[in-house]
Chains A and B, each alone.
Chain A
Amino acid sequence: MTSLPQDRGTTSLGLVIDLDVCVGCHACVVSCKEWNTGGYGSALSDQHPYGDDVSGTFLNRIHSYEVVPEGGEVIGEAGQARIVHFPKSCLHCEDAPCVTVCPTGASYKRASDGIVLVDETKCIGCGLCAWSCAYGAREMDLAAGVMKKCTLCVDRIYNEALQEEDRVPSCVRTCPANARHFGDLGDPRSEVSIMVAERGGYDLMPEQGTRPTNKYLPPRPRISLADQQPAMPLAENTEGARGFFAWLDKTLDRI
């Protein structure tokens, strides 16, 4: 068993994901793969990459769901089904069961910033952490035999060889819809914290009691077009085009 840090500071680095603008393009998924396959720890392998039963290690995936809203807020045209694109990676929980379940100390939460990492030199590939994760956010790399997970691009965010503006996770850097935001959710004055406060950002499955750091922003409320007040027809327009021509004459005289 592994302990969570006793001397955690207030810094909690994480992601805020805006479901109002995520179009499910998978840019974050692939950018994560390409950064991390040559980055922290062993490569993210792919099995049968050109054959049947292809699979590979991804630290971030998008799940697409079809939902039919019932009552409450009107989304799009009332009552109609819609697609929700839901990106998911490690949420860097404050009470991370994947850490406490680890028999070797490989899985750990950093005291300084709250990032949950795997020390691959200690990982024995037992898979207990993946089993304990309520979010299914860990993936065993079949080639390396070690557990892989989102590192919050720890090798980018503190990397002084990068331009300062690039010291963000690869998924945030690449997101074309600007649906992914990185920052300190432990600081109530940070941009991400303000965003969460203003937009009603929420925890994923709070009932699990893991206190995830990452937050999701819900879709903004929408107003049905059918509720739009129609414009009034021209008063003159009682006789088809002739009424329009009369209006046109009057209006042209004014301009």
Chain B
Amino acid sequence: MTSEPDLTLTEPVGDAIAKTTCYMCACRCGIDVHLKDGKIRYIEGNRDHPINKGVLCAKGSAGIMQHYSPARLQAPLLRTGPRGSGEFKTISWEEALSLAVEWLAPIRETAPQKLAFFTGRDQSQALTSFWAQNFGTPNYAAHGGFCSVNMAAAGIYTIGGAFWEFGAPDWDKTKLFVLFGVAEDHDSNPIKIGISKLKKRGARFVSVNPIRTGYSAVADNWIGIRPGTDGLLILSIIHQLFLTGRIDLDYLQRYTNAPWLVIDNPGGEDHGLFLRDDLGKALIRDRGTGALVRFDAFGHSPDLNADFVLADGRKVRSVLRLMAEKYLDPRYAPEAVAEQTGIDAATIRGLAAEITRVAFEEEIILQQPWTDMKGEYHEVMIGRPVSFHAMRGISAHSNGFQTARALHVLQTIIGSIDCPGGYRYKPPYPKPATAHPRPHGKPAHVQPGNPLAGPHLGYPLGPEDLLVDDQGKPQRIDKAFSWEAPLSAHGMMHMVIANACAGDPYPVDVLFLYMANMAWNSSMNTRGTIRMLEERDETTGEYKIPRIIYCDAYSSEMVAYADLVLPDTTYLERHDCISLLDRPISEPDAVCDAVRWPVLQPERDVRGFQSVLIDLGARLGLPGFVDPQGQPLYRDYADYIVNHQRKPGIGPLSGWRGEDGLDEGRGQPNQSQLDRYIGNGAFWQKHIPAEALYFKHHNAAYQQFAIDMGFFDTPQPVTIQLYLETLQKFRLSGEGVREPVAPEPYRQRLVDYFDPLPDWYMPLEEQQTDNSVFPFHALTQRPMAMYHSWGSQNAWLRQIHTRNPLYVPGPICNELGLSDGDWAWVISSHGRIKCEIARMDAVNSKTLWTWNAIGKRKGAWALETNAPEANKGFLLNHLIHELLPPKSDGMRWSNSDPITGQAAWYDLRVRIEKAEPGLELAEPSFAPVGRPAGQARAASELRYGQEWSKQ
């Protein structure tokens, strides 16, 4: 027998541990980066971190390969060949920044709207919006318009919060969790941690999703819904709750506008608006005295069942009465919606029964006294332990805003908003729409040489807040906040290139993009978008979009279309700030923010984008970036993070404020703030007091906490808006009975879709498409191991998803004689693609799907031109147009939600045909783009860490 070898089992992992924040997706987990010999040895989750609590997903664990990716840009680039060729020369930063200033300074002095500045998967919108506002252009937004604005906007308008960054299920107490289609990176690790927790506790997990992968694979019940019909399912459950009287009347009368009185005056300009007093406060009727009193007055018993005639002869009804009249209609009965949704009536009825059973029969009572905003003391906190989470699957349909509203209405009528076991807000939410700003960009807001009059993005409360001129014409390049998309709270990035190319509503001079792969997977109609980027004015020969500045860390497809490329660092080489002023990472129990810091120094001639933006701001002399003498205010982004104050005492980071670092939330800048963060694992958290942990929307202790922390300066309780008066105002404009009256082409849309009580309408593409010709849906999903297009440059992650078949339901395969490995044409009203198929049965029978953004353009991302991603991988984007098919009047609407402008990616209708035998290559196919200057060919073999090997 041989003796076993002696092994060295105790050895430090590396020389040092640097704790920072992950950026392998949008989840923003804490990571411990183990460094050895100046290289990354190992990345693991930070056990103390509030988001991931030590765990880390595949993307995060593959950070090594992202940091050393061969696709990293090496130096600033100036285009030398035609757009799309990828021909560039390397230039110095001084040349690059001087050129940018040369392009931008004259615009600012003459017509600031000729700069369109849009950012993609950016996590520094507090800075980028501040920069754009000081530049003075109205044309700024991040990518929310093509991501999940329906979710965010519906949530803010309805409950003053939403999912993911705004709120989460009470994972520790919930007993029934219902998950609607979710983009996996939108709260990646917390959802995995949460699902595991609740399943181990024996709580039921129901997944509503056309596709049974990922989370749906472990759900106790999978409801394979037909895409775009989630709203009908939710309304049918609401119907069942009204039918059975299983609604939380106490919750409704205390915390919602259910008792508010709605004027019934058809044809009048006040029809459907709330009865208000002369200060504009909504009124309710006291059930005891019959008196009309303000909704927030103490000591009244609101009449949820009010229906009477006012002294002036006008009729009014409570919101709850309107809801009952609407939702008890048999058109929402389970049998009535079964065919559209593809869900049998018994399952709908069973889900409704389970929701009511858990909400009311498994009530949680926490022995925790608290006081509400009317001053009433409560001995206990009552929980209705049913929770929901939803994201992209609802959001990316043209009826997504109303569907998301319907979901919040469902949560509210069972009393499960911010209660034990239900949905919980994450600070700084709740924050009602009224406490958010209105959008800025009206003609009077834009003055050459001056900042924009206020923030670009916000929440309109009625048509008077639209950014349109006297004729009702859009003022922004993306037409956000116009009659076409009134509540486009995140802008409409997906319309920018098309509108700029068409000069509609006007041409721009400079398109400045950050981290947005618009020439590939981030655009609808990718081929068309590429053409627009290449299109020249016939008379002058100039590009229709004359200058494009692009900032990215990697050679994405978009790089080849830039005139000037500003190379960014990797996430381990930069300062970053996960700020409460931006997209927060708080958890329901604690307010949190975080930083990234350079744990490694770049060996390339690259700079962090935010520092570059601050430098550009100073060179352009923008207010907020220079002192009165014109000298730069900030050395770089790190300096800005510490010293910038949005208002006195409020800065990008909330922890360790004040000169001695003892203040939280509010306080003077602290020069050692970043060191304190780094010493604490790169994050800060402050726990919410026990009496403030639930019912935050009406909890006096929480509201005081929020003021102390600087979220707002006065209490901002949220009365949940079951009935959304803002929508009714637009409807009245559409009916032509209230000023401002909508321009004629938009009126019918406002009447049809702006129902103040959530309703369902068929997705717009489905309405306008011959569904006998295009009988199927086609969707993409994000793989858990990839973040958008980023994963394919990663040697480890790309081995998990090297190509993406189109998954086709078994019955369709049977009908068309398709089997695994066959190639097929998928055809929409806009285009056709050729791709490889795989049979699947665990999917809605009318839904084809594939993984998102695996297909790549040849030459991009430092992949070899024969890489499967560039030859077999494909995008559905080629099938989706940014405009809907023309209507009889020749008008083409944007392929977006008519309320928010959210890109309707998931409305796509297709048919599928078996492809003729031939080359097994994806189509359409594009000419390769060149490798950017300075980028070496990628290695043909990797042995990462071989120098550390031991036996």
Do the two shown chains form a genuine complex with each other?
yes
Q: Which residues of A contact B (CB under 8 A)?
A: 2-3, 5-6, 20-27, 29-31, 33-35, 37-52, 54-56, 58, 64, 66, 68, 76-77, 80-85, 105, 108, 110-111, 119-121, 143-144, 154-155, 158-162, 165, 170, 173-179, 219-220, 222-234, 237, 240-241, 244-245, 247-249, 251-252, 255
User: Chain B residues near A252 (CB, 8 Å)?
Assistant: 249, 287, 303-305
User: Chain A residues near B802 (CB, 8 Å)?
Assistant: 54
User: Chain B residues near A26 (CB, 8 Å)?
Assistant: 57-58, 784-785, 800
B261 close to chain A: CB less than 8 A:
no
Check if B11 sits within 8 Å of A159, measured CB to CB. yes
Check if B305 sits within 8 Å of A50, measured CB to CB. no
Check if B795 sits within 8 Å of A50, measured CB to CB. yes
Check if B324 sits within 8 Å of A244, measured CB to CB. yes
CB distance from B715 to the nearest CB of A (A): 26
CB distance from B178 to the nearest CB of A (A): 11
Residue on A nearest B197 in the bound complex, by CB? A178
Contacts A38-B948, A45-B941, A159-B10 supplied; 14 other A-B pairs, CB < 8 Å = A25-B57, A30-B796, A45-B942, A46-B941, A52-B868, A76-B222, A110-B4, A177-B193, A177-B196, A241-B325, A245-B321, A248-B305, A252-B287, A255-B250
- A50, A160, A255, most chain B CB atoms within 10 A: A50
- Write 26 A-B pairs (CB below 8 A) sorted by A numbering: A23-B218, A41-B949, A43-B943, A43-B949, A47-B941, A50-B863, A50-B867, A55-B799, A81-B841, A82-B842, A83-B212, A105-B2, A119-B5, A155-B8, A155-B9, A161-B10, A174-B44, A177-B195, A226-B346, A226-B347, A230-B349, A231-B352, A231-B353, A233-B243, A248-B305, A252-B303
Given contacts A20-B199, A119-B951, contact A27 B799 (CB under 8 A): no
Check if B951 sits within 8 Å of A120, measured CB to CB. yes
User: Chain A residues near B55 (CB, 8 Å)?
Assistant: 27, 173-176, 178
Residue on A nearest B325 in the bound complex, by CB? A241
* A227 CA to B357 CA, complexed, in Å: 14
Check if A52 sits within 8 Å of B243, measured CB to CB. no
Check if B347 sits within 8 Å of A49, measured CB to CB. no
- A41 partner, pick from B196, B938, B951, beta carbons under 8 A: B951
B887 close to chain A: CB less than 8 A:
no
Check if A228 sits within 8 Å of B222, measured CB to CB. no
Residue on A nearest B861 in the bound complex, by CB? A50
User: Chain B residues near A160 (CB, 8 Å)?
Assistant: 10
User: Chain B residues near A3 (CB, 8 Å)?
Assistant: 1-2
Q: Which residues of B contact A (CB under 8 A)?
A: 1-2, 4-5, 7-13, 36, 41-45, 47, 52, 54-62, 64, 70, 188-189, 192-193, 195-197, 199-200, 204, 206, 212-224, 240, 242-246, 249-250, 287, 303-305, 307, 320-321, 324-325, 328-329, 344, 346-347, 349-354, 356-357, 784-785, 793, 795-800, 802, 810, 840-842, 862-864, 866-868, 938-946, 948-951
- B36, B59, B798, B799, most chain A CB atoms within 10 A: B799
- A25 partner, pick from B347, B784, B941, beta carbons under 8 A: B784
- B796 partner, pick from A33, A39, A52, beta carbons under 8 A: A33
- A161 partner, pick from B12, B240, B941, beta carbons under 8 A: B12
Check if B784 sits within 8 Å of A51, measured CB to CB. no
Check if A34 sits within 8 Å of B43, measured CB to CB. yes
User: Chain A residues near B307 (CB, 8 Å)?
Assistant: 245
Residue on B nearest A161 in the bound complex, by CB? B12
* A33 CA to B70 CA, complexed, in Å: 19
Given contacts A25-B57, A248-B305, contact A52 B866 (CB under 8 A): yes
- B350 partner, pick from A45, A49, A85, A227, beta carbons under 8 A: A227
Check if A234 sits within 8 Å of B62, measured CB to CB. no
Check if A176 sits within 8 Å of B4, measured CB to CB. no
Check if A173 sits within 8 Å of B346, measured CB to CB. no
Check if A84 sits within 8 Å of B325, measured CB to CB. no
Check if A27 sits within 8 Å of B942, measured CB to CB. no
Residue on B nearest A245 in the bound complex, by CB? B305
